[in-house]
Amino acid sequence: MLNLNCKGKFLELKTPAVMGILNITPDSFYDGGQYANADNAIEQVEKMVQEGAAIIDIGAVSTRPNAIEIDEADEWRRLKDILPVVRKKFPQIIISVDTWRSAVAKKAAAEGADIINDISGGQFDDEMFKTVAALKVAYIMMHTQGKPDKMQQNPVYGDVVGDILKYFTENLRKLEKFGVSENIILDPGFGFGKTVGQNYRLLSSFERFRNAGFPVLAGVSRKSMINHVLEIQPADALNGTTVLNTIALLNGADILRVHDVKEAVEAVKLVNYYRNTKEQP
C-alpha cells in the first residue's frame, strides 16, 4: 500500500484518490477564467471537496498546447490572491500548486501548499529539486517533451513508454542526491509532447510506471486524446474522460487529476467494487 506524507497531511492510497483541478488562469483549454477571483474559487473548491476530492490542484499558468508563457511575477500575482484564501477556508484539505518555478514553489509552500506539481519534472528550473528537498513537500514529477508553446510540434520517441521510464529513473536518482526518496508521485504527462497514439500507448502500459515503487497519477481529463478520437470539444468530453479514467484505474492509477470530481469518485467506487467482487469465490 502506498502512502504519502504531504507536509504533515497523510494520504493513504489503498483506494485511488481524486485530485480536483482549480485553474485560476484566463486561458486554460477548458475552464479558463471561471475561477480567477477568490469567491468563485472558494465555491468551486467547496463543491469539489463535498464531491470527494482528496487533493485540490491550483494552477496559475496555462500549460495547454501552444500556451504563451507568462512571467514569474504574473504567476505569483494570480496565486497570492487565491491560495491563502483556500488554505484558510479548507485547513485539512491537501493543496497542490501546479508550477515549474522553484521561486513560486517556495512562496506557495509558505502560504500552505502541501504538494508541488511540476509539469517539467525539474527540466525547466535547475533549482527545483533542491527547493523541493528543502521545503519537505510532496512532489509530482511529470514528463513533458518541451515547453507548452512547442511541445506538440513534433513529439518523437524511440519507444514512448521506455523513454519515459528512463526519464523517471534518471530524475529519481537526481532527486535522491538531494535526500528526496519518498513522497514522490509520477505522472507520465498525457498530452504533454505526445501524439494521440502515444497517449494511448502510455495508457495501455500504465501499470509499468508503478514498478518504480511510487504512486502514479493519470491526468486525462477532457484532453485532446479524447477529443480527437471522438471529434468533440472539451466541453463535451466528460463521458470520454470517465471511460479513460476507468481504464487508468484498471491499469493501476493511484490518483486521478480531473475537472469533474463527482464522476471520477464514482469511477473509483465502481472499479473498487468490481475488483472486490472479482476476488470473491
Quick: pLDDT tens for 133-178: 999 999 999 999 866 555 456 678 999 999 999 999 999 999 999 9
CATH number of domain containing 45 = 3.20.20.20
pLDDT tens track for 172-231:
999 999 999 999 999 999 999 999 999 999 999 999 999 989 999 999 999 999 999 999
pLDDT tens track for 81-116:
899 999 999 999 999 999 999 999 999 999 999 999
The number of distinct structural domains making up the chain is 1
Domain that holds residue 12: 3-279
Model pTM? 0.93
Which residues are tagged catalytic? Answer: 223, 257
Determine contact, residues 177/148, Cβ cutoff 8 Å: no
